Every structure is written in C-alpha cells, then in structure tokens.
Amino acid sequence: MRDAYRQELEAITAGLEQMAQLAASAIGRATTALLEVDLQLAETVIAADDKLDDLQRDLEERAIAVLARQQPVATELRTVVTALRISADLERSGDLALNVAKLARHRFPDHAIPSELRATVLEMGHVAQRLMAKAADVIATREVTVARELEGDDDAMDDLHRALFRRLLDDRWPHSVEAAVEVTLVGRFYERFADHAVSVAKRVVYLVTGEHTDPPSDESAGQQWGQR
Amino acid sequence: MRDAYRQELEAITAGLEQMAQLAASAIGRATTALLEVDLQLAETVIAADDKLDDLQRDLEERAIAVLARQQPVATELRTVVTALRISADLERSGDLALNVAKLARHRFPDHAIPSELRATVLEMGHVAQRLMAKAADVIATREVTVARELEGDDDAMDDLHRALFRRLLDDRWPHSVEAAVEVTLVGRFYERFADHAVSVAKRVVYLVTGEHTDPPSDESAGQQWGQR
C-alpha cells in the first residue's frame, strides 16, 4: 500500500476515534450538568455538538475522496464503508448527549431529576461514557475481544434503565407527570447512546472477522414493555 | 455507462425505494394496530421488520460490490455513498414502527392510548406514513422540489407532538404515570420517524444539488423543552 493511501485510511480512523472520544466526553459532561444543575457546563456541551457534526461531515468527504482516488477493494473498501456507518452512530450519540444537556438548560435553576433517582442517572452517565470510551479504543485498536465485551457491558445500562422504569411506574411516584415525562426521555437518551456504542463495536467486529452480528436494534422499548 | 453498471446502480435505488415503502406501510399498520387494539396486525408489523433489516444488509453488500467492481467516481460514487446513509435511516425508521407495534402488543387487550389522545396519534401516524411515502417517491424520482417540501410537511408532526405534550403536561392529566410514560415514548417514536423521512429527502437534495443542508438533528427534545 502506498504511503499516501495508508495515511488517508489512518486519518479516517483517527477522525472516528476523535468523534467517539468527543461523544464520550459529551455524555459525561451532560450528565454532570444535569445532576449538578450547571448551566454553564450544559451550554458548553450544547456548543460542542457542532464540532462533532463538522467532524462527521469531514469524515464523509474524506471517505468519498479516498474511494474516488484510491478505488480501494477488499478490506480497505470495507474499512471505508464501515467508517461511514460508524460516523453516523457517533454523530447520533452526540445528539443524544445534546438532548441531556438541553434538558439541564431547560430546567435550570431547578433539578430535572428527582433526588432519589440521581444515583441511577449518574450511573447511567458513567456506563454510557465508559462504553463510548471503550468504543473509541476499539476503533483505534480493532481488538475484537474488547469489542465483544461491549455487549456484556451494555447489560449494566439495561439494568439501570429497568430500575429507572420501576421507580417511574411505582404507584407511589410522588412527582409530577412532567417529571415522569422528562425522566422517561432521559432514560431513553442514555439507553440509545449505549446502543450506538455497542453498534460501533459490532461494526468493528464485522470488519475484522466478517461475522455479521445484528446491530443492536432498538430493544429498549421491547424491554421496558416486555419484561417488567 | 455500461449496462451492467447502470443496472447495479438502479438496483440499489430500487432497493432503497422498497425499503422506504415498507417503512411507510409499517408505521401505518402499527398505528392502526395501536389505536384499534389489533394484536394480529401488531404481530404482522413486528414480523415484517426482519424484511427491512434483510433489505438493508443486501443493499450494503450491493453497494460494496458496485464500489469494488465499478470503482465509481463523481456522481455515481456519491449515489452509492448516499444510498448507504439512506438505508440506515430507513432501517431505523422500521425499528421505530416496530416499537409502536410492540407497545400495541404489550398493552393488548387494553388501549395504550387514552381515548382523548387517539385522534392526535392517528394524525401522527398519517403524517409519518405520508412523509415516508413521499421520501420513497423522492428516492425514485430525485425531484428536488418535492424533497424540499418534506421539511415543511414535517412541521405538521412538530405541531402534533407539541399538542400531545400539552395534554400530557396539563395539570389535569387524569391517567396513570404509566400511561404518561407510554404516550411520551410513542410521541417520540413518531417524531423520530418523521425526522428520518426528512433526512432521506435532504440526502437526495444534497446528491442532486451538492447543497448541504444539515440533516435534521434531534430537535424534538429542544422543542418540547424549549417552546411550550
């Protein structure tokens, strides 16, 4: 492989890794903004989302350029196509972090999350950030073993999501319907964020092994409606 | 352009159009299942989602094959890359219709949607189906004028979504928190479904004109938190 070609492919991978790191950081900071009622931090997360969108656009242009110039085949072709798919997952993850930050801003100076649920939401934020940071590693290293771990790691998110819903649906829910609506949406944002991290990992597994595991379809709805 | 090449590109476009038609049909039938408490119809929608997933996988393989064999450049290259992005939007739209059908199944034989909200949800289903049917046309015809209409059409969904939230957040909400949670999620599923239809149209506009309009980021959260 010529050097220029290799560099173009490496730049695409580096762009994806950077996007994943930004998404991980965004969900972490959005969670802090939400739970600590920090308007300034929420605004930072909201402003930073443009960067992720720009990176995605750059990455798409780079991918198209490398397809046109290098006409890759086989593994390199799949690398570029996979990069396009992964970048869409990461851009969407950024939007979900943005939604969390927007709720913090909307509710400021009040708490959006009732006090007895904050520990659960904090843990959802940690799990989401950890999953995405791991996805960033997987993008860089292509370590299939680590990539496969993400599915198991995501079970922690499912458990937290279920715990959140149990509280919501408890007959003794002492808060407003508005609070219930907001907690419902927040729970879904974290759950979907985690799904995207898992999806990234699965795409890397496919790239390396050729084994198609289904991308995580949206199981959250089925879960919360099927298993409580 | 050689015939074989042209046929491969046409097959990709036909596959996308079929996916969009299936997604439009799925949201229409899921809405009927939800509002008419029709378990059998809900099961049909749930089973049909596999077909959309299969079509997406086929389409991705076709796209990779055409990139490898024909090494397209310029417009044809952008067509193939855009097809990959559009297929992801359509697969996700199918998941959202699936979520609506799963709620209908979960609640059966009860109504999931309180009677006074059914007209609004019915209208959301109609708008969603219409938007996606129009997106299917846009895929086939590449008519930029029609594609650009979708954004305006989506305003109807935003209005319905806001109306739904006003009812939810009315102090006199007479139903359970569980009902509020379910209505919240259903509202979000329709809103996101419509966003994906608009996103498809915008990608076609970009393909034809080279003008980048931002794909609809997730405005629903900001909307419901910012403007009521």
Give residue for tokens 């809103």. Answer: B191
- Indicate which of B90, B91, B181 best probes the interface with A, i.e. most A CBs within 10 Å of its own CB: B181
Say what the pLDDT of residue B54 is. 96
Say what the pLDDT of residue A216 is. 53
* Chain B positions in Cβ-Cβ contact with residue A98 (cut-off 8 Å): 217-218, 221
Nearest chain A residue (CA) to B65? A73
Q: What is the mean pLDDT of residues B135-145?
A: 97
Determine contact, residues A200/A139, Cβ cutoff 8 Å. yes
CB-based burial label for A74 (10 Å; 0-12, 13-18, 19+): exposed
B107-132 tens-digit pLDDT: 999 999 999 999 999 999 999 999 99
Q: By the CB < 8 Å criterion, does A190 face chain B?
A: no
Contact across the interface for B169 and A181, Cβ inside 8 Å:
yes
Q: By the CB < 8 Å criterion, does B177 face chain A?
A: yes
Q: Which residues neighbour B166 within 8 Å (Cβ) at sequence distance 6 or greater?
A: B228
CB hemisphere CA count around B23 (13 angstroms): 38
Largest CA distance in chain A: 66
B81-117 tens-digit pLDDT: 999 999 999 999 999 999 999 999 999 999 999 999 9
Say what the pLDDT of residue B164 is. 96
Helix, coil or strand: residue B113: coil
A2-39 core/surface letters (b: 16 or more CB in 10 A; e: else): eeeeeebbeebbebbbbbbbbbbbbbbbbbbbbbebbe
Determine contact, residues A161/A228, Cβ cutoff 8 Å. no
Q: By the CB < 8 Å criterion, does B57 face chain A?
A: yes
Contact across the interface for B53 and A102, Cβ inside 8 Å:
no
- Indicate which of A67, A77, A173, A212 best probes the interface with B, i.e. most B CBs within 10 Å of its own CB: A67
> CA B97 to CA B148: how far, in whole Å?
24
> CA B115 to CA A17: how far, in whole Å?
48
For the cut 50, the answer to whether the pLDDT of residue B29 exceeds it is yes
What percent of chain B clears pLDDT 70, i.e. is strictly above it? 93
Say what the pLDDT of residue B224 is. 57
- Is the complex ipTM more than 0.90? yes
H-assigned helices in chain A = 3-35, 39-70, 74-107, 118-141, 144-169, 177-209, 219-226
- Integer CA distances (angstroms), A200 to A21, A83, A91, A139, A173, in order: 13, 9, 12, 8, 36
* Chain A positions in Cβ-Cβ contact with residue B96 (cut-off 8 Å): 218
Q: How confident is the model at residue A225 (pLDDT cuts 50, 70, 90)?
A: low
Say what the pLDDT of residue A58 is. 95
* Chain A positions in Cβ-Cβ contact with residue B67 (cut-off 8 Å): 67, 77, 81
> CA B33 to CA B28: how far, in whole Å?
9
> CA A31 to CA A121: how far, in whole Å?
8
Q: By the CB < 8 Å criterion, does A103 face chain B?
A: yes
Work out the minimum CA distance from A211 to partner chain B, whole angstroms: 13
Q: What is the mean pLDDT of residues A32-58?
A: 97
For the cut 70, the answer to whether the pLDDT of residue A227 exceeds it is no
Contact across the interface for B53 and A214, Cβ inside 8 Å:
yes
Q: What is the mean pLDDT of residues A44-59?
A: 96
Q: Which residue range forms the structural domain that includes residue A31?
A: 3-226
B179-224 tens-digit pLDDT: 999 999 999 999 999 999 999 999 999 999 987 766 555 655 545 5
> CA A109 to CA A38: how far, in whole Å?
8
A1-36 tens-digit pLDDT: 788 999 999 999 999 999 999 999 999 999 999 999
Token representation of residue A73 = 């085949």
Q: What is the mean pLDDT of residues A192-219?
A: 84
What value does the mean pLDDT of chain B take? Answer: 92
Say what the pLDDT of residue B210 is. 83
Say what the pLDDT of residue B223 is. 53
Length of chain B: 228
Q: How confident is the model at residue B140 (pLDDT cuts 50, 70, 90)?
A: very high
Q: By the CB < 8 Å criterion, does B228 face chain A?
A: no
Say what the pLDDT of residue A226 is. 43
> CA A43 to CA B14: how far, in whole Å?
43
Q: By the CB < 8 Å criterion, does A225 face chain B?
A: yes
Say what the pLDDT of residue B30 is. 98
Token representation of residue B53 = 């997933």
Instruction: Specify the number of domains making up chain B.
Output: 1
The CATH number of the domain where B10 resides is what? 1.20.58.220
What percent of chain A clears pLDDT 90, i.e. is strictly above it? 87
Say what the pLDDT of residue B211 is. 79
Work out the minimum CA distance from A3 to partner chain B, whole angstroms: 21
Contact across the interface for A177 and B173, Cβ inside 8 Å:
yes
Say what the pLDDT of residue B228 is. 32
* Chain A positions in Cβ-Cβ contact with residue B84 (cut-off 8 Å): 81, 84-85
Determine contact, residues A81/B84, Cβ cutoff 8 Å. yes
For the cut 60, the answer to whether the pLDDT of residue A102 exceeds it is yes
- Indicate which of A69, A185, A196, A200 best probes the interface with B, i.e. most B CBs within 10 Å of its own CB: A185
Q: By the CB < 8 Å criterion, does B58 face chain A?
A: no
Say what the pLDDT of residue A171 is. 83
Contact across the interface for B103 and A225, Cβ inside 8 Å:
yes
Contact across the interface for A177 and B168, Cβ inside 8 Å:
yes
Q: By the CB < 8 Å criterion, does A96 face chain B?
A: yes
Say what the pLDDT of residue A158 is. 96
For the cut 70, the answer to whether the pLDDT of residue B42 exceeds it is yes
Work out the minimum CA distance from A140 to partner chain B, whole angstroms: 23
